[in-house]
C-alpha cells in the first residue's frame, strides 16, 4: 500500500511527525504504523522495539542541529553559537524536546556537540578537567532552559496564559509571587536564555582572566 518502501528513516520521520502533531504521549507503534499505512508488525522489520525507535528520534532531531562553527571567531562567540544551536531544537521540534533530553545517546550525533564544545574550551586554555566542568554546567543550563521553553518545567514559572490564575494566588502567603505576577506571567524565552548564557560566559571569562595571576 505505501508508495515508498518502508524504511527506518521513514519510520523515524513518521514518529517525529506524530509527536509534533499530537504530543509525546500520543506516540505508539500502532499509531505510527497506521500513519504509514502498514501493519504494526511491519515496523519491527526495521526497528527492534519502541525504545530504540525513540532513541532514533532523539538522534535524528539532534543531528538536525545546525552547528556553524567559525574557528577564527572570538571564543565567546563560538560558545554563544553552540549554545544557541542547541536551543534551536526547542524551536524546530518543541514537542520532541523532552524525548531528546531524556534519552541517553552514545551515538556520533550525540557526541559531536560535546567534541566541538570541548575543543573550543581547550583552545582558549582551559585544562581538561575545567573544560568538562564548564561543558557540564552549560549543558545543565541549556537543558533546563529548553524544558522551561517547551512548557514542561514545573511550578517555578507559574501563572501562565491567564490572568485568572494570578487572582488565585494568596497574597498573604505569597506576597512576592503575587506582586511579581506580571513579570512571572510573561516569559520572553530568547531574552531569558540569552541573559543566563551571557552571565555564564562572563563568569567563565572571569575565571579565565583570573588564571594569569
According to CB under 7 A, which one of 17, 21, 23, 30 is a site residue for DNA?
Answer: 30
CA dihedral of residues 173, 175, 177, 183 (deg, nearest 10): 160
Partner from its own copies, DNA, none contacting 139, C-beta within 5 to 8 A by type: its own copies
Partner from its own copies, DNA, none contacting 163, C-beta within 5 to 8 A by type: none
Q: Which is nearer to its own copies, 7 or 162 (CB)?
A: 162
CA distance 204 to 208: 6
Per-residue binding string, its own copies, 61-100, x by CB under 8 A, is: -x-----------------------------------x-x
Q: Is 100 in contact with 61 (CB distance < 8 Å)?
A: yes
Specify whether the backbone of 69 is left (phi greater than 0), alpha (psi in -120 to 50) or beta.
beta
CA distance 80 to 75: 9
Partner from its own copies, DNA, none contacting 5, C-beta within 5 to 8 A by type: DNA
104-143 residues near its own copies, rule: CB under 8 A: 104-108, 110-115, 118-119, 122, 128-129, 131-133, 135-137, 139-143
Q: Which is nearer to DNA, 2 or 206 (CB)?
A: 2
* 135: nearest Cα among 123, 112, 117, 120: 117
Amino acid at each position: 500500500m505505501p508508495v515508498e518502501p518502508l524504511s527506518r528513516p521513514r519510520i523515524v520521520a513518521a514518529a517525529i511527525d506524530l509527536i509534533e502533531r499530537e504530543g509525546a504521549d500520543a506516540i505508539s507503534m500502532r499509531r505510527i504504523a497506521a500513519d504509514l499505512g502498514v501493519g504494526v508488525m511491519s515496523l519491527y522489520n526495521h526497528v527492534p522495539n519502541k525504545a530504540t525507535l525513540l532513541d532514533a528520534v532523539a538522534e535524528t532531531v539532534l543531528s538536525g542541529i545546525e552547528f556553524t562553527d567559525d574557528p577564527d571567531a572570538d571564543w565567546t562567540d563560538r560558545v554563544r553559537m553552540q549554545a544557541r544551536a542547541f536551543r534551536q531544537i526547542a524551536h524546530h521540534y518543541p514537542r520532541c524536546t523532552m524525548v531528546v533530553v531524556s534519552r541517553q545517546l552514545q551515538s556520533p550525533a550525540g557526541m559531536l556537540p560535546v567534541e566541538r564544545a570541548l575543543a573550543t574550551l581547550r583552545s582558549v586554555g582551559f585544562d581538561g578537567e575545567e573544560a568538562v566542568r564548564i561543558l557540564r554546567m552549560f549543558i545543565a543550563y541549556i537543558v533546563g532552559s529548553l524544558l522551561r521553553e517547551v512548557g514542561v518545567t514545573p511550578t517555578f514559572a507559574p501563572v501562565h496564559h491567564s490572568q485568572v490564575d494570578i487572582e488565585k494566588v494568596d497574597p498573604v502567603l505569597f506576597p512576592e509571587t503575587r506582586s511579581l505576577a506580571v513579570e512571572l506571567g510573561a516569559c520572553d524565552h530568547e531574552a531569558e536564555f540569552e541573559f543566563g548564557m551571557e552571565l555564564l560566559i562572563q563568569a567563565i571569562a572571569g575565571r579565565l582572566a583570573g588564571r594569569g595571576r
